[in-house]
Structure 1
């Protein structure tokens, strides 16, 4: 049986084994809608005495759950309280962890920030070896984890690796996540579904009371306190108001975060290239690799494939990865000698931006004029 609730679809494989499928196009961004769906699911889980295990997966193989909505569409999830007395964001994760029902995250695609914290709140995590991007990139956005990442990761991976994950603010593939203890196992993508399904059905065949008692005993020696979790969430909500944080968030949104699928897949790798300072909304400080298709390149070219000066570069926000589609006729070395003047980005003044075409890299350099 299949039932739908706010983009978290429930598939009842048996009365003891359910699958919850995140289906919130285009990227499964985590906002108030996702938390509404999870709260509804938790209520159903509490009211289902025969249920033993729920597997959480995504309908989109590229995005398990992308990350926290940075456009402000989060409703009251950090202020209104849930049944546990904690704010809804934390209430959702704590109730999931403490539920007598076993939760398993079956991971494909991007899982970052609060999404990583969701899978950390699950009892087990199994990831696609070829198709997992898992991380806590908040520090690179001027924030810090606020949904349990800093509290749960050290117990799983150790202090040093927890700091690498949090302060490095980058992605981890399935194999590295397995080696660190971030996930239980990374499996070949073709084997992931079968492995998780077999494990879930095995657990679902056991007595619920024995499952719940065993899980409770493990919880008693492994879970962070509610006070520590609440302190982290309160600190996170404060960090959201910091001016430098808002500068970084707006820079990422301008570059394509939550709009552009290619940028969504790879944005943590670019965090170290953003330089944010007084009066400068954003600029890239070293080579950024973007694919430009021939039409995108053509708008910068005049007769003889020479760069046209003083043209708008707003379309650079749509440029993507290495320049392997540059027509053979383009004089790449000649293009290096020219500069284009960009749109207003620095306190109402137009900065100079150079777009440097080389054989395989586009360098976008922003410089205050």
Structure 2
């Protein structure tokens, strides 16, 4: 049984970029942030990444045991050194996401982690939301609301996460709780790092475009970007969510371009999709705070600043850790699961009403 009040929670995130596992400690009661603790990162090896990529698109009834073991082993290894953890949040690795269709599949079993680590693990965060008609994503918005309160924001702002897929959370910090109908609007913006990383790996054998240096040398193909923005997803009313491979046509469209031009075109696809997302918000945010690996891409950040009618900055300007926000979010959500608090709302996933979700695995205790 989780004690009342503030607890020490450990959150994990293995995102759609398939780079590795982030883990971070958060002190929270599930409603407010009391403080931040240490964090760590465990990269997937090239071989592990290849296996996980080969499993993308697979569902639970298909053979995912090899991928699951990689995900679980990596998490256990990076989580074990942390002391005094009272509960952990294990997101798993998204292999397939089809809300309204086949459902959602996050690979990995929280029960195995609980047994190995010796404390409760909250997991399977998305299934209940999807089963209730929601998108099951994004799930960080309730944490973003708590962050807005923590940094004492006094005007609407947005948190933009540029991982493999981009997502945005518009927050009105004047509201009392994240469940309030006017508190949040959240949705996936479009592709972010995944197409660029895939391009760099396929063409140059490196995992990403360091500082956006290659894209800075190129010229974006305006026709490809315009065709991309004509995708039906951008006409849908948020909340809405995406699978990592929802825009494979974009990668195919840049296949004939030179390396730098292809990278520049993919950057403009990110920028234009984020601009469209900001235009869909209840009001233009005063500031867009950027988290995730994309904030290190100077070409992306410069282009965003030039295209949005608001401030754009990495979350570090507010004293936050842009590499660990999503891991912290699942520490926060783990406590909410344990206390029966909502994880999502009509404004974040499109679910009919605010609902909780997730499962909690307790460590196995042998008799005797």
TM-score by length of 1: 0.25
TM-score relative to the length of structure 2: 0.25
